[in-house]
Structure formats: C-alpha cells, structure tokens
Copies of this chain bind each other. A is one copy, B any other.
C-alpha cells in the first residue's frame, strides 16, 4: 500500500463518519494474519483454509467453458447466437446454472429441490449477505451463530447492522440447551431471533461435525422456537472415512433450512460462485406468495445485478463433465485431504505422546474429514505467539480467538491441512513441537519484537 501519511495534505474523511464496521477489531486481526504470512513466506503454513491447487491446470478453464457451451446447445437446445448471448450479456438474476446445481444436490446430497429455489451468488459470502439483508427488517432482528464461528458470517451481519448472539459449540458441536436459552432470552428482551447459522460438517474452524440425532433435534428446535437454520456446507464432501451424515437440508421437511452452498473448495475458488437454496414461501403485501429465493434475487439485483455468466459457465462445465457429481470430480482431492488429516493427527500423537512432560495439558480433536483440526494448549496461543512462532520456528497457524470475536479460544489454535504436502506436514509438526517445547520452558518469556 502507498503511504498517504507522508503527504502534507490533511485527511479528506474520517472513519468516525463512516460505517462502524470499518473500525472492527476483527478486520485489524485479519490484516495481522495476512501480514505475518507475507512477512514469512518460507514458513510452513497450517493457516490458510484454501483448497489444494496443484491438480488444477489453466486449460481446465477453457475445457469447462467449452463443455458448458456444448451443454447449452445440445441439452438445452440453445442456438449458437443464444449461447453467445448467454455468456456475453447481463443474465438471469438468479443465475444460469440453477438446474445443474439442483442435479448436483440430488446426485451428491440426496436433496430434491425446485431449481427455482436456487439463487446463484458471487461466492457463498454474497449468499450470506442476501439472506441476512432480507431477514434484517429493523433493529430488533438478531442472528444466532454457533461459536467458534466462520468469520464470513460475522462480516455479513456487520454490513446489515445485525447483532450476532453466540451459541456454545462446545462438545458435540452445538449446545442445544444454550441455543434454546439464547433464543428465549433474546425474545424476552424484545428481540427477534431470525435464524441460527451453523456449519454441520467439518466446521470451519472447529473441524467438528454434528451427528444425526443432533441434526434431528436442531430441526425440531428451529420448528418449535420458530427460527430458520442457515446451513453452510463447504466441506461436507470431504469426509475421511465413515459414511456421510445427511445435511440438515436433506432432513428438512418443513422448510426450516436455508442451504448455503459453495464451489470454492469443490470446484475452484477463482470462479467466485456459490448459491443459496431458499424454498421458503414468503407472503407479500399484495397477497401473492413467492419463494424466498425470489426475494433474495430482488436484493441481488441491487447488489451485484447477476453473477458473471462466464464464471458460472466454468463451474457449470465442471459439473457437466463429471456427471453433476462433485464427489466424482474430487476423487484425488478427497484422498489427499483424508490422508493429510490422518497424517496430522498421527503426527500430533507421535510428537505429544500421552504421559510425556511436553504433552501435559495438550490435546486436540480428531475430525473425520474436512480441512481443520483444533489444538488446545496449556498456554495462551495469541497473535503475539503466532508472530514468535513464525519468526523463531518458521511455522504458521491461526489463533482460535479470531473465531470467537476475541471472547474465547485463547488457549486454542487451528491447523489447516488442505494446502500442505505430506513433507510439509511432517516438517511443520516438528517445528510446532519445538515451539511448544520452547514455550513450556519454565523461564520462557515472549521476546519483544
């Protein structure tokens, strides 16, 4: 960044008179994480939750585009001029790959939906924004979110000035008693809890998955207490071993679930294509009933107009090429992520064997898939320790406090396994063990930086 500070002119504006989200501590801490990563490019990084990129080739983009155009001509019966128009012009606000998404959900998730209930979005982040913007009618509307929480939902909620009430995610992934308590307490205070955000499969950042019984109970509670569930599912395909548990949306019989879909981990992040499934019926003032998807579409028309048809074509081509199955498209990736997670968990067990002094007070969870595991330490794992870890030991990770809005997780850190090689996991865990040994020396002090 340039440094306008050096300029003699005074500032033109002040954040005091801009939206308050711009002074959120969360933004500063995200900045800090990026800076550390940039300052130590040679460190082994368990920080980014990005998908493995080495199976991708630029040529794939060209092929996906061609496959999608063939699909438009051959399966949808478009003329060459219509195909050209589809890619070139402004398009349908709700998107052009909605039918492919519906087929994909049937194929991979056993979810049957009307393609009209799909809104294709600029990544899952826009889907979150659209849903929260629709639900936030006035200052009484609040969102619930399982803590620790993916930072993206906090960001979207900030933009619509919607408070996020934390629900404990300890133990099995969500504390249902706490959920009910939070909902009722909010109602008693005159607030309207509109929805609860949850990532039931291999959650970011905890790695935790909800079991089937818990999912059924959660759906029951949403019905009884009258709120929606916002189910975010970027990692569900990456189960390591056992059978996959059905999504909330697959179990949803009463339209309680808005499903937030992402192609960032299963197709490619660079397309920035995600979607919402919003099959809820909305009564309008005129008496007409429309799908919630159509309400989200109206908001999208004021926000981004439509998702790039070229970007959608890339994702659509990948879906067509693999018979609408992202499980089929991710055979290599699924193996790799499962192997990485197994190696990480075995490595932690080897470095911190039960009964050993250095392992005292150290524990970790054992996700059966996904990108993330969480280590709990007998000492604080904050930004200062991360900076030290990077500089002194050449290993990066993410302090869990970032996912608690600064109110918890102080002794925990997240390890991401998606972007590292087997060698890096091995070496990185060695460095991490050295950091722990270093930090648990009785005379340890964080050196001034």
With contact pairs A53-B85, A270-B308, A282-B12 given, residues A27 and B125 touching in the complex (Cβ less than 8 Å): no
Least CB distance, A42 to chain B, in whole angstroms = 16
Q: Does A136 contact B (CB under 8 A)?
A: yes
**Can you name the residue of chain B whose Cβ is closest to the Cβ of A2?**
B116
**Can you name the residue of chain B whose Cβ is closest to the Cβ of A27?**
B298
Q: Which of A155-163, A240-248, A387-395, A396-404 contacts B (4 or more CB under 8 A)?
A: A155-163
Copies of this chain: 2
Q: Check A303–B13 contact: CB distance below 8 A.
A: no
Q: Check A159–B133 contact: CB distance below 8 A.
A: yes
Q: Does A299 contact B (CB under 8 A)?
A: yes
Q: Which of A101-109, A202-210, A284-292, A325-333 contacts B (4 or more CB under 8 A)?
A: A284-292
Q: Check A84–B294 contact: CB distance below 8 A.
A: no
Q: Which of A16-24, A174-182, A358-366, A378-386 contacts B (4 or more CB under 8 A)?
A: A16-24
Q: Check B58–A125 contact: CB distance below 8 A.
A: no
Interface residues on A, range: 35 or more
Report chain B residues within 8 Å CB of A69: 58
Task: Please measure, in the bound complex, the distance between the C-alpha atom of A298 and the C-alpha atom of B302, giving whole angstroms.
Answer: 20
Contacting A21 at CB < 8 Å: which of B21, B152, B299?
B299
Q: Does A280 contact B (CB under 8 A)?
A: yes
Binary interface encoding of chain A residues 133-157 relative to chain B, with 1 for a CB under 8 A from any of its CBs, else 0: 1111100000000000000100110
Q: Does A190 contact B (CB under 8 A)?
A: no
On A, residues with C-beta under 8 Å from B are: 1-2, 4-5, 7, 9-23, 27, 30, 50-51, 53, 56-58, 61-62, 65, 69, 83-91, 114, 116, 122-123, 125-126, 129, 133-137, 152, 155-156, 158-159, 192, 255, 264, 268-273, 280-285, 288-292, 294-295, 298-299, 301-311, 314
User: Can you list 7 contacts pairing A with B, beta carbon distance less than 8 Å?
Assistant: A1-B294, A16-B285, A22-B134, A22-B298, A27-B298, A125-B305, A310-B310
